């Protein structure tokens, strides 16, 4: 995904104590339970790159959760090896191993008898951080997940909303700065709007932290939104396809995968690209502090039909059309139309399209982290970039198919040769 590419060009955020991701290799990992004839997980092999977000997605009961739990050995594999950063951890002390792997689960798993701060401090304390170090870290983590430390520090989990609990859950998982983060349907129990926010938040976090994330979900849209690569699993955790979201959407390997992708692949494609990747256009602006006369002049000199008025903190406030001021008899307070929707640079094209469609002028203002104005995206830009995207996908898919065929031919040749020498 283009995420990683843009990530490297931007200056690294000033977060001194941040370990980025580790590689994970699963080698022929199986789990069978005594008394059941077929294994729950049957020979999964997977190579996960450092700093990558991999989503395990599949129908319920396909063993995706079991696979995830074998990585931190909450479930001991029956056979196979697990390597993290090329270190074999299959026989390591599981308690030590788990302290180096963040773990976030559905319904947050926060301990109700501990405050938010105590919950977050657990792992750093266990790994022997100094008292002041732990304290600072708790503040830092709360800040990171977008909760005000002063307000939430001493609260108990039951005094938080579902979304806030989940944020604290992620903060706890990341507190000891583990290179790997395992997430087991973490957003499964919150309402759709909150889930959307949490997903955006996770994308932002990952943009800053570059952890290796393995994320289990049964929601394919969530998988597309979050994943650098997606592993679509069928029963017994057999990998049906393990590829980028783009490739899975445009080129599903079989009926199982395309059935799972569901209808509307082109629309889903919109979830894969972010506003930052398309052209954000400039737009003439004025601020509320500008004198009325200069706003008048700007509108009247004829270059622009419309202006965007920003408030004191540079946030989009009002769309001002030519004539609006006249109609409102020169009163700025009454003129124009309030900006009711903005998107961030991390918003998906899907969100942007939604905003553009509901806006009467067919455009939406793009804002930065603190809500400050950056630019505008309109219908035209969206259409163009979507067409380009789809075209690029088609080319990539064709190339991919070509490569596969070549590989297959190559393999058959080898097999034939091998068979020949065996005779």
Those residues whose C-beta lies under 8 Å from the C-beta of residue 198, and which sit 6 or more positions away, are: 163, 166, 167, 186, 187, 190
From first CA to last CA, the distance across the chain in angstroms is 47
CB of 101 to other proteins, least distance (A): 8
Minimum CB distance to other proteins smaller for 26 or for 286: 26
Minimum CB distance to other proteins smaller for 64 or for 98: 98
Find, among 396, 385, 277, 389, the residue nearest to 4 by Cα: 277
Q: Using CB under 8 A, list all residues that contact other proteins.
A: 72, 74, 95-101, 103, 105-107, 109-115, 122-123, 126, 156-158, 172-173, 182
- Residue 352 phi/psi, 5-degree rounding, is -65, -45
CB of 213 to other proteins, least distance (A): 15
Q: In terms of DSSP H, where are the helices of 180-284? A: 192-209, 220-226, 245-250, 255-261, 265-269
CB of 255 to other proteins, least distance (A): 35
Minimum CB distance to other proteins smaller for 185 or for 228: 185
Minimum CB distance to other proteins smaller for 101 or for 309: 101
Strand partners, 322: none
User: What's the CA gap between 35 and 168, in Å, rounded?
Assistant: 39
**Angstrom distances, CA of residue 324 to CA of 95, 321, 327, 334:** 66, 5, 5, 9
CB of 186 to other proteins, least distance (A): 11
CB of 185 to other proteins, least distance (A): 11
User: What's the CA gap between 262 and 22, in Å, rounded?
Assistant: 32
Minimum CB distance to other proteins smaller for 18 or for 127: 127
Minimum CB distance to other proteins smaller for 124 or for 316: 124
* Cβ proximity of 280 and 366 under 8 Å: yes
CB of 159 to other proteins, least distance (A): 8
CB atoms within 10 A of CB 180: 23
CB of 211 to other proteins, least distance (A): 15
Minimum CB distance to other proteins smaller for 121 or for 261: 121
User: What's the CA gap between 240 and 328, in Å, rounded?
Assistant: 62
User: What's the CA gap between 167 and 147, in Å, rounded?
Assistant: 8
Minimum CB distance to other proteins smaller for 115 or for 212: 115
* Cβ proximity of 29 and 44 under 8 Å: yes
CB of 271 to other proteins, least distance (A): 29
């Amino acid at each position: 995904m283009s995420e990683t590419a843009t990530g490297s060009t931007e200056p690294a955020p000033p977060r001194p104590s941040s370990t980025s991701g580790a590689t994970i290799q699963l080698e022929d990992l199986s789990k069978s339970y005594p008394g059941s004839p077929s294994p729950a997980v049957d020979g999964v092999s997977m190579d996960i790159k450092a700093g990558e977000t991999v989503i395990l997605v599949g129908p319920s009961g396909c063993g995706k959760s079991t696979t995830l739990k074998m990585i931190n050995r909450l479930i001991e594999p029956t056979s196979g090896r697990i390597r993290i950063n090329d270190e074999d951890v299959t026989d390591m002390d599981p308690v030590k191993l788990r302290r180096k792997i963040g773990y976030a689960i559905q319904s947050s798993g926060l301990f109700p008898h501990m405050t938010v701060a105590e919950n977050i401090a657990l792992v750093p304390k266990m790994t022997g951080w100094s008292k002041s170090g732990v304290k600072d870290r708790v503040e830092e983590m709360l800040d990171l997940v977008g909760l005000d430390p002063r307000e939430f520090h001493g609260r108990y989990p039951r005094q938080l909303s579902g979304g806030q609990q989940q944020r604290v859950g992620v903060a706890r998982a990341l507190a000891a700065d583990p290179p790997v983060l395992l997430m087991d349907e973490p957003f499964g129990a919150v309402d759709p709007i909150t889930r959307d926010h949490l997903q955006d938040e996770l994308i932002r976090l990952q943009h800053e932290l570059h952890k290796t994330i393995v994320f289990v979900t049964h929601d394919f849209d969530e998988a597309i939104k979050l994943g650098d690569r997606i592993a679509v699993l069928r029963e017994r955790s057999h990998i049906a396809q393990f590829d980028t979201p783009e490739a899975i959407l445009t080129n599903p390997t079989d009926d199982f995968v395309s059935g799972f992708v569901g209808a509307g692949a082109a629309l889903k494609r919109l979830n894969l690209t972010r506003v930052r990747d398309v052209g954000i256009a400039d737009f003439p602006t004025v601020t509320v502090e500008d004198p009325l006369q200069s706003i008048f002049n700007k509108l009247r000199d004829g270059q622009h039909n419309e202006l965007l008025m920003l408030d004191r903190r540079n946030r989009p406030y009002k769309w001002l059309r030519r004539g609006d001021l006249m109609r409102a008899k020169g009163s700025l307070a009454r003129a124009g139309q309030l900006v009711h929707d903005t998107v961030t640079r991390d918003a998906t094209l899907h969100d942007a399209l939604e905003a553009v469609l509901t806006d009467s002028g067919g455009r939406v203002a793009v804002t930065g982290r603190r809500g400050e104005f950056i630019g505008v995206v309109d219908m035209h830009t969206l259409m163009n970039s979507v067409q380009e995207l789809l075209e690029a996908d088609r080319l990539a898919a064709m190339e991919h198919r070509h490569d596969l065929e070549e590989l297959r031919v190559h393999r058959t040749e080898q097999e034939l040769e091998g068979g020949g020498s065996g005779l």
